[in-house]
């Protein structure tokens, strides 16, 4: 009888309670994408950095000095990558979780000087995952400072692009949404110049982007449904079954999709190109040249 293999990344994400999996909180299903990208690196001595270590920071109206009790995604990475080294960035203090394989930097991603200190630490990273405040200015300033630390062929990932905290968007310097920046780069080969991403500062880094992959909410939701239903057929626990959305959320999502589809149709009749997607982009994976 053959012994079962190690648990998949999605199984671990669901076990540790991170929303990168398919059943906890919103169940974004990012791990279904990551599994294909990370599997060959699983036992390699890679270096992974994550921005944002637990939900509930200032982006949700809580104090930056909140007491933190868990870092679920770091537990996920430590289990999945047994030989890797990890780095974490957060505005709250997660230093209690430091150990021989995890180094923590308490950093405000809206402060260029603090990010510069990390950039000067001499890191060479295989994977960067930005799951921080999700504010457009923070995402783009962080990418400006940390993307140069990614090795050739490495990945820079930005999660939850479809949601930005309103109070940050209104108070920080005006910045186009990060999705708009990325789609503009795909179309023109350049980013829109802003306080977070000055054109001259990106002159060298922009030329080192090999690929950008964007995944929208519909794609991820379809993958999540398929995975959860298949896992529910064989798993002893009903936790792997697809969980229904609250009726209120269904109504909002349905109304939003109708408006987006109507706008896309109107644009097509007006002579503009069909966008190819109606659901907002949620995940961006950027590969370095």
The tens digit of pLDDT for each residue in 37-65 reads 999 999 999 999 999 997 767 776 667 76
Check residue 270 and give its pLDDT: 52
Task: List, in sequence order, every residue forming a beta bridge with 283; answer none if it has no partner.
Answer: 215
Catalytic residue among 43, 60, 99, 134: 134
Backbone φ and ψ for 103, nearest 5 degrees, come out as: -115, 130
Output the pTM of the full model. Answer: 0.84
Residue located via tokens 């996920």: 76
Please give the share of the chain, as a percent, with pLDDT higher than 70: 80
Q: Which stretches of the chain drop beneath a pLDDT of 50?
A: 1-2, 233-241, 243, 245, 249, 261, 264-265, 268-269, 273-275
Q: Which fold has domain 9-219+279-288?
A: Rossmann fold (3.40.50)
The per-residue pLDDT for 60 is 64
- CB-CB contact of 165 with 134 (8 Å): yes
Question: For 147, phi and psi rounded to 5 degrees?
Answer: -55, -40
Q: What is the pLDDT of residue 29?
A: 94
Provide the 10 A C-beta neighbour count for residue 56.
12
**99 is known as an active-site residue:** no
Sheet with 85-90, strands from edge to edge, namely 102-106, 85-90, 47-51, 125-130, 150-158, 281-288, 209-216
Q: What is the pLDDT of residues 71-125, one digit of tens each?
A: 888 999 999 999 999 999 999 998 888 889 999 999 999 999 999 999 899 999 9
**Burial of 232 by CB count in 10 Å (0-12 exposed, 13-18 middle, 19+ buried)?**
middle
């Amino acid at each position: 009888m053959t012994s079962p293999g190690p648990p998949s990344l999605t199984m671990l994400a669901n076990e540790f309670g991170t929303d990168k999996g398919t059943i906890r909180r919103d169940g974004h299903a990012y791990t279904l994408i990551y599994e294909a990208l990370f599997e060959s690196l699983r036992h390699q001595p890679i270096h992974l950095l994550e921005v944002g270590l637990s939900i509930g920071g200032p982006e949700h109206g809580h104090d930056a000095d909140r007491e933190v009790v868990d870092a679920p995604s770091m537990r996920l990475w430590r289990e999945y990558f047994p030989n890797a080294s990890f780095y974490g960035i957060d505005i709250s203090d997660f230093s209690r979780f430091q150990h021989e394989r995890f180094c923590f930097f308490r950093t405000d991603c809206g402060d260029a000087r603090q990010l510069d200190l990390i950039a000067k630490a001499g890191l060479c990273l295989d994977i960067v995952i930005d799951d921080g405040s999700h504010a457009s200015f923070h995402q783009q300033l962080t990418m400006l400072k940390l993307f140069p630390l990614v090795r050739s062929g490495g990945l820079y990932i930005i999660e939850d692009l479809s949601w930005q905290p309103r109070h940050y968007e209104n108070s920080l310097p005006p910045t186009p949404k990060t999705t708009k920046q990325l789609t503009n780069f795909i179309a023109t080969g350049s980013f829109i110049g802003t306080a977070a991403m000055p054109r001259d500062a990106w002159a060298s880094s922009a030329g080192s982007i090999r690929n950008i992959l964007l995944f929208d909410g519909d794609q991820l939701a379809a993958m999540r449904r398929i995975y959860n239903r298949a896992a529910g057929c064989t798993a002893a626990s009903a936790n792997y079954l697809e969980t229904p959305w609250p009726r209120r959320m269904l109504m909002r999502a349905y109304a939003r999709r109708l408006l987006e589809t109507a706008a896309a149709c109107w644009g097509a009749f007006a002579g503009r190109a069909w966008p190819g997607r109606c659901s907002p982009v949620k995940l961006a994976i950027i590969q370095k040249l």
